[in-house]
Homo-oligomer: A and B are copies of this chain.
Amino acid sequence: MNAFQILPGVGPKSAQRICFNLLQKNKEGALKLAEILKQACENIGECKRCRTLTENELCRICSSGKRNAEQLCVVETPADLMQIEQSTDYSGTYFVLHGKLSPLDGLGPNELGFPKLVDILSNEPIKEVILATSSTLEGQTTSQYIAQMCAKAEIKATGLAHGVPLGGELEYVDASTIAHAFGSRETL
């Protein structure tokens, strides 16, 4: 029961329910879960180039010859990478920071893989870096930092558009987003 409480969103009660359920009704599934979990921990590491999670040296995207080598999208987490893959038709490659600049948490340029990013920027034929970090304070600081690196390397840096989310009622949008969306309104 204690072991299960490391899962996000699982407290003592849920852990107890999970344990009884597994032991009484699904020992087979539990054994399989244990085995897969062990395998995953042993085999999954970071892609040598883009730092996303993968079982191989290079991830599926970095090792594919079909991606556009002139675009690089910088994201905070492998989950963000997956979401962009699933919802857009982006065909370039990625770079995963595994976090955002946050000196108080011990996350500096080295932890976020900036040396490797500099390597990529100087050795690959990249023409555009798309900064898809969160639009939180730390996310924007991180993206500005990388934008400066791009400026030095004379590479164009772009950021996601900000504004009212699609399908949203104006009433539920926060004041700062409305102010921004109002300020950067577009001619129809």
B79, B159, B183, B185: the one contacting A186 at CB < 8 Å is: B159
Task: Give the chain B neighbours of A40 by CB distance below 8 A.
Answer: none
Q: Quick one: CB contact mask for A143-178 with B, threshold 8 Å, 1 for yes?
A: 110010000000011111111111111110111111
Q: Is the CB of B130 within 8 A of A182?
A: yes
Q: Is the CB of A165 within 8 A of B160?
A: no
- Asked if A77 is at the interface of the complex by the 8 Å CB criterion, the answer is yes
* Copies held by the complex: 2
> How far is B84's CA from A178's CA once the two chains are assembled, in angstroms?
7
Q: Is the CB of A131 within 8 A of B188?
A: yes
B135, B139, B179: the one contacting A87 at CB < 8 Å is: B179
Q: Is the CB of B136 within 8 A of A167?
A: yes
- Asked if A184 is at the interface of the complex by the 8 Å CB criterion, the answer is yes
Q: Is the CB of B182 within 8 A of A84?
A: yes
- Asked if A132 is at the interface of the complex by the 8 Å CB criterion, the answer is yes
> How far is B84's CA from A160's CA once the two chains are assembled, in angstroms?
23
Q: Is the CB of A167 within 8 A of B88?
A: no
Q: Is the CB of B166 within 8 A of A177?
A: yes
Q: Among the interface residues A147, A158, A160, which one has the most CB atoms of the partner chain B within 10 A?
A: A160
In the complex, given contacts A87-B178, A160-B164, A161-B161, what are 8 additional A-B residue pairs having Cβ atoms less than 8 angstroms apart? A80-B171, A83-B170, A88-B183, A132-B182, A139-B169, A158-B188, A166-B180, A167-B176
